A and B are shown apart, each in its own frame.
Chain A
Amino acid sequence: MKEVAIIGVGQTAFVRGYEGSIRELAFDAFREAMQDAGITQKEAEASIFCSAPEYDKQRSPAGVLAEYLGLIPQPTLYVETVCSSSSTGIKVAYGMIKSGLHDVVVVLGFQKMSEITSAESQERMGRGADIQWEAPFGTMMPAYYALYAQAYMAKHGLTHDDLMNVRIKSSTYGVINDRAVYRKPVKPADFKQGDPEAKMAGPVAWPLRVGDCCANADGSSCIILASAEKARALSKKPVWVLGIGAASEAVNMAARPDFTRGLSAGYAAAAQAYKMAGITAKDVRVAEVHDCFTIAEIMAYEGLGFAPMGEGKQLIREKATYKEGKIPVNVDGGLLSKGHPIGATGGSQIRTIVLQLRGEAGPMQVAGEPDIGLVHNIGGVGLYGNVTIFGRD
């Protein structure tokens, strides 16, 4: 199905402490995407803004940002599924275009996390889960993912070294991605228990350590989508949205069926996206998965069908998910190295896949002219699952 295409992508560098307001942050990614698409605001018929609330003070950001970007008086709206907000924005844009309502839609994800402290940020993120029955215990995102890690490691023999190797892979590409917040190489000595110099080794929410967790960052991403007719007219290298899957899951951990099987919403979203695209996991040549924590990448390998249940560890042990491997995953550094400015993350993943399919990913380019790419973007602790599949002509 080649009915909706991406004709422009943009992303800021993800940084600690962006020196500007959310309007200026949004504009940086917007400028790059518009120049990439080679269009002006006159051609953009609607805009969608995506972020997680309560990091900056702006209520109803869509109208404010649309004005700053020069996208008024066109319709605009705000979409939110925490960490997967901009993937959800893409889904909404796809529907608008496929329905014939609009031909060109701008999806802009942004987050300026540095306006609050790290502890405040943990509290906000914890409240992206069950505030009535779980947050009163002092929950936070690393602790939630640690629940999955603990049960998974006990059942499937996944080790701390395996998790470390996910982070080391990530850093391999963080080093060469000039948009990443963490650009230093990571080596096994950084994870050595009991060594005060080992900056990745300290426990955060056991079994997850500092090095198992992605960092907060400020950033924005922008994706411009168009109908087939417009895409053919405007773009030399349109990248087509071939499949979209999205699902949700119970918020409370007490309602989760199985902590050894990964995130249910991820499995469900993958099945839908593969079915819509008419492909299987074997057809994917390059993927971006939601590695907010190292364990999440291992679980994603299985949720996406890259590895059988419990065997995700083999992919990292065999280096199969490196750039030269059979299924390259997060070869832009992923969330672990790029940083995770919540609302911008999905758009950043999509930008990476678009560049890969166009052959424009520079030092991160996967060889062999990949023709199918996949984005896996999770919101909350698997509260929302989003899988989007892309292809080129």
Chain B
Amino acid sequence: MGFEKFGRKSFTSVTKTAKFVDHLAEGKIEGTVCKDCGAKFFPPRADCAKCFSNNMNWFEMPKKGKLETFTTAYYAPFGFEGDPPYTMGVVDFGNNLKLFARMAKDIKPEEVKVGMEVSVRPLKYDDGQLSFEVIKT
């Protein structure tokens, strides 16, 4: 339990990586790193597909990255009707670490450019849901 608190609306309640949400509540965006082979994962995984280990530690994601690509949604799927328009993008931190998230509401769509420097931060919605978002540096 616990993972139902993730995101605008979660479709998963039980996962071995549910601590991710607790870390968000503490102000940290964390991936997992394999204790045995050192492979890093974001989004977090409970199992290492490289060496089959399930000994994982949490690590905090870098703060600075580049916006690799983005889109602004003017329609939304069922359950998100009140949200558009909203912009979502992929942030590349280098070293094979990337992250997908919405961009902060205060960034105007015309300000967003491929390749721009961005950061990420945890986010708490009014209804208590926990997420993270991309912000300007």
B3 nearest in chain A by CB position: A132
Could you tell me which residues of chain A, from 102 to 149, have a CB within 8 Å of some CB in chain B? 117, 119-120, 122-123, 125-127, 130-140, 142-143, 146-149
Q: Is there a chain B Cβ closer than 8 Å to A252's Cβ?
A: yes
Q: Within the assembled complex, what's the spacing in Å between the Cα atoms of A122 and B83? A: 15
Task: Choose among A120, A137, A139, A148 the residue with the greatest number of B CB atoms under 10 Å from its CB.
Answer: A137
Q: Which residue of B lies closest to A130 (CB)?
A: B43
Which residues of chain A are near B76, meaning CB under 8 Å? 119, 122, 138, 140
Bound: A259/B115 CA distance, A = 12
Interface: A203 (CB within 8 A): yes
Are A252 and B75 within 8 A (Cβ)?
A: no
A207 contacts which chain B residues (CB < 8 A)?
A: 71
Query: A205 is contacted by which of B12, B71, B83 (Cβ under 8 Å)?
Result: B71
| 0/1 interface trace, chain A 242-269, chain B, CB 8 Å (1 if under) | 0000000000111110010000000000
Which of B8, B69, B81, B131 touches A147 (beta carbons < 8 Å)?
Answer: B69
Q: Does the CB pair B88–A137 fall under 8 Å?
A: yes
Q: Please state if B114 and A151 are interface contacts (CB–CB under 8 Å).
A: yes
Q: What chain A residues lie within 8 Å of B3 (beta carbons)? A: 132
A202 near B114: Cβ-Cβ < 8 Å: no
Question: Interface size class for chain B?
Answer: 35 or more
Let me know if B11 and A137 touch, CB within 8 A.
Answer: no
Given contacts A119-B81, A132-B15, A137-B101, whether A254 and B69 have CB atoms under 8 Å apart is no
Is A68 located at the chain interface by the 8 A CB criterion? no
Question: Does A204 make an interface contact (CB < 8 A)?
Answer: yes
Are A123 and B74 in contact (CB-based, < 8 A)?
no
Q: Which of B68, B73, B80 contacts A259 (CB 8 A)?
A: B68
Question: In the complex the two chains form, is A259's CB within 8 Å of B77's CB?
Answer: no
Cα distance A135–B10 in the bound complex, in angstroms: 8
Residues of B within 8 A of A154 (CB): 69, 114-115
- Known contacts: A123-B77, A132-B11, A135-B11. The answer to whether A206 contacts B109 by CB under 8 A is yes
Asked if B59 lies at the interface with its beta carbon under 8 angstroms from chain A, I say no
Cα-based distance from A240 to B62 in the complex (angstroms): 53
Provide the bound-state CA to CA distance between A318 and B54, in Å: 54
Residues of B within 8 A of A139 (CB): 77, 88
Across the interface, name the chain A residue whose C-beta is closest to B132.
Answer: A137
Contact B99 A206 (CB under 8 A): no
Specify which of B8, B12, B90, B131 is in contact with A132 (CB 8 Å cutoff).
B12
Question: Cβ of A205: which chain B residues have Cβ within 8 Å of it?
Answer: 71-75
**Min CB–CB distance B107 → chain A (angstroms):** 14
Q: What residues of A have a CB within 8 angstroms of the CB of B114 in the complex? A: 150-151, 154
Q: A140-B77, A154-B114, A204-B75 are in contact. Are A259 and B7 (CB under 8 A)?
A: no
Which single member of B73, B99, B115 contacts A143 (CB below 8 Å)? B73
A219 to B7, CA, bound (A): 35
**In the bound complex, how far is the Cα of B75 from the Cα of A239, in angstroms?**
42
From A125, A146, A208, A254, give the contact of B42 (CB < 8 A): A254
Whether the Cβ atoms of A151 and B74 lie closer than 8 Å is no
Indicate if the CB atoms of B71 and A138 lie closer than 8 Å.
no
Q: Which residues of A contact B42 (CB under 8 A)?
A: 254
**Contact in complex: B8, A138 (CB < 8 Å):** yes
* Residues in chain A near residue B43, CB distance under 8 A: 130, 132-133, 252, 254
Contact B100 A253 (CB under 8 A): yes
CB-CB under 8 A from B73, the residues of chain A are 138, 140, 142-143, 204-205
Additional A-B contact list (19), CB under 8 Å, known A136-B10, A150-B69: A119-B76, A127-B11, A132-B11, A132-B15, A133-B43, A134-B100, A138-B88, A143-B73, A143-B88, A146-B71, A147-B69, A147-B71, A202-B74, A206-B72, A208-B71, A252-B100, A253-B90, A253-B98, A254-B98
Q: What are 20 A-B pairs at a CB distance below 8 A?
A: A119-B75, A120-B77, A122-B75, A123-B78, A123-B79, A134-B100, A135-B11, A136-B7, A136-B11, A137-B8, A138-B76, A140-B75, A149-B71, A203-B74, A204-B74, A206-B71, A252-B43, A253-B98, A254-B42, A254-B100
- The 9 lowest CB-CB distance pairs between A and B, nearest first, are A136-B7, A146-B71, A123-B77, A151-B69, A138-B80, A123-B78, A122-B77, A133-B43, A254-B98
Binding site for A on B (CB under 8 A): 3, 6-12, 15, 42-43, 68-81, 83, 86, 88-90, 98-102, 109, 114-115, 131
